[in-house]
Chains A and B, each alone.
Chain A
Amino acid sequence: MKMMKPYVWLQTSDDSIQQVEQEIAMFCPLICQEIIQKGMGSSKNCAICLPQQVSPAMLSLILDYCRFHQVPGRSNKERKSYDEKFVRIDTERLCELTSAADSLQLKPLVDLTSRALARIIEGKTPEEIRDIFHLPDDLTENVEVEEEHVDDRSVDDLLSFINGNDGGKLNILTILIFVFT
């Protein structure tokens, strides 16, 4: 029988290669598949090539996450509070982390970071969301014109507006209802 190798070789997006405890790395389904199905990662020459989204910094964050959750016997409360602190990072890194975790198919972490991103967006105006994520606003002009009328409208106006609507106007309708409620 072949002995289990305690370490695995991983190559990150900047082409650097590093050695990682196999037990921890196996937490990521993508790495797990490479090892089991393709027999990769056993030496520096056949290092597992990680997806483009995984930079060395992200890999180190992800391994920290796996290392914590791999320890058996931790209470749910401990895990929850670790997770909470883990996603308290700036939005840019949070987006990168989400993308990296997704590329490694690490679902629990994708779930965690996605919820954190949702909390950032929640309750924000489109304007604020654009600022947070540096989104280019190629639609602003149309929107502002419509928003000026919002306060003058009564529920009945709104309703007739909604009922007599076609698909193309749905965006504007959203803002109206959003402001109204």
Chain B
Amino acid sequence: MVDLISSLPHEIICYVLSFLPSQQVFATSVLSKSWNLLWRSVPSLDFDTDIEDFRHLNHQKIFNAVYSSVYSFLVGRGDKPFYRIRLRCYPSIDITESIKTQIRTAVSGSDRVEILDLKCDWDIVIPSMVFSFKTLVELKLEDITIEDMSFVDLSLLKILHLKCIISPIEIDVSQLLFFSGCPNLEVLEVFEVWHLDCETKRKFIRLSKLVRVSTDEPLLPLEIFKDVEVLKFYYVMHVRFITFYLEREKSSTSIESDPEVGFGLGSAQSLSQASKSCHLDS
């Protein structure tokens, strides 16, 4: 029988493996001698424990073991850059300095990264240079600390999630969103960002490709959400204020609110009725 896959170019095999979880990539080293060191060249880091199985366990030891395997993976691999980084775990009290440093080094050294998805621990600090990684298409940050976000240049970015973010200095999202920081943004989610501010006095550059927004942040000016298809708000707002914008929106726009919030905006239907009545009043 002919070996089917090993005849493929080295880069292609690594590319194929880059779609797999790192633990499995690591495991390919036992396939055969020629695969023994191949895993080191795979340009992706993917550890995801943010799944149901692990929530039930909720065990510090397990998280520590995960962080340790991330560490071993990074050390064994050397400092070759990543094209994709996904690390979703839970905060752990025992993350050592060397693990933090390894993760930080891996992130800073991957300036050609396309997908950066980190949910780990507030002790891990995202360096400011990440916000000018020109190849980034997807940036998802959760339960993490951001060093500084005052300069943003992400021209290819399509998906941005900022959730439960801590920052030592103020995060001005107007810089990020409206002043051509990410002109191609399609999906935006902002939740529980500390120190968030939004400078609204200057003129906006409209995000023309934005189709999906969900946020709990009242500071974000509604004006920029005019053309989006799906809006989800997770906070209470005066109905008359929001309907003012609804009138001008496309008929296809749907607005949803979180039913658990209770005091939210109610169904999209009642909103559109409110919008009509508001229109008549004016």
Residues of A in contact with B (beta carbons under 8 Å apart):
91-92, 95, 98-99, 102, 110, 114-115, 117-119, 121-123, 126, 129-130, 132-139, 143, 155-156, 158-159, 162-163, 165, 167, 170-171, 173-175, 177-178, 180-181
Would you list 25 pairs from A and B whose C-beta atoms are within 8 A, ordered by A residue?
A99-B7, A102-B8, A115-B19, A117-B16, A118-B20, A122-B21, A126-B30, A129-B28, A134-B1, A135-B32, A135-B35, A159-B68, A162-B72, A163-B68, A170-B76, A171-B26, A171-B29, A173-B69, A174-B26, A174-B29, A174-B30, A175-B30, A178-B26, A181-B23, A181-B66
- Residues on A with beta carbons closer than 8 Å to the beta carbon of B62: 155, 181
Min Cβ gap A34→B in Å is 20
A170 to B72, CA, bound (A): 8
Contact of A126 among B4, B19, B27, B76 (CB under 8 A): B27
**Cβ-defined contact, B8 with A98, below 8 A:** yes
A177 to B64, CA, bound (A): 12
- Residues on B with beta carbons closer than 8 Å to the beta carbon of A139: 30-33, 36
**Cβ-defined contact, B64 with A126, below 8 A:** no
Min Cβ gap A93→B in Å is 10
* Total cross-chain contacts (CB, 8 A): 122
A171 to B37, CA, bound (A): 9
Contact of B3 among A122, A134, A143, A162 (CB under 8 A): A134
Min Cβ gap A147→B in Å is 9
A110 to B26, CA, bound (A): 23
Min Cβ gap B90→A in Å is 14
Given contacts A99-B9, A134-B1, A177-B23, 20 further A-B pairs with CB under 8 A are A91-B4, A99-B7, A102-B12, A118-B20, A122-B20, A126-B28, A129-B31, A130-B31, A132-B4, A133-B6, A135-B5, A135-B31, A136-B3, A139-B36, A159-B68, A165-B72, A170-B26, A174-B26, A178-B24, A181-B65
**Cβ-defined contact, A133 with B3, below 8 A:** yes
Residues of B in contact with A (beta carbons under 8 Å apart):
1-9, 12, 15-21, 23-24, 26-33, 35-36, 49, 61-62, 64-66, 68-69, 72, 76
Contacts A139-B32, A158-B65, A167-B76 given; indicate if A134 touches B27 (C-beta within 8 A): no
Min Cβ gap A146→B in Å is 9
Min Cβ gap A175→B in Å is 6
- Residues on B with beta carbons closer than 8 Å to the beta carbon of A91: 4
- Residues on A with beta carbons closer than 8 Å to the beta carbon of B20: 118, 121-122
A115 to B15, CA, bound (A): 9
Min Cβ gap B18→A in Å is 8
- Residues on B with beta carbons closer than 8 Å to the beta carbon of A143: 30
Min Cβ gap A84→B in Å is 16
**Cβ-defined contact, B27 with A98, below 8 A:** no
- Residues on A with beta carbons closer than 8 Å to the beta carbon of B4: 91-92, 95, 132-134
A73 to B66, CA, bound (A): 47
**Cβ-defined contact, A126 with B31, below 8 A:** yes
A129 to B25, CA, bound (A): 12
**Cβ-defined contact, A117 with B5, below 8 A:** yes
Contact of A159 among B6, B19, B64 (CB under 8 A): B64
Min Cβ gap A177→B in Å is 5
- Residues on B with beta carbons closer than 8 Å to the beta carbon of A121: 16-17, 20, 24
A121 to B39, CA, bound (A): 14
- Residues on B with beta carbons closer than 8 Å to the beta carbon of A122: 19-21, 24
A170 to B74, CA, bound (A): 11
A143 to B62, CA, bound (A): 24
A121 to B15, CA, bound (A): 13
Contacts A117-B16, A133-B5 given; indicate if A177 touches B69 (C-beta within 8 A): yes
Min Cβ gap A171→B in Å is 4
- Residues on A with beta carbons closer than 8 Å to the beta carbon of B8: 95, 98-99, 102
Contacts A121-B20, A181-B23 given; indicate if A102 touches B72 (C-beta within 8 A): no
A162 to B76, CA, bound (A): 11
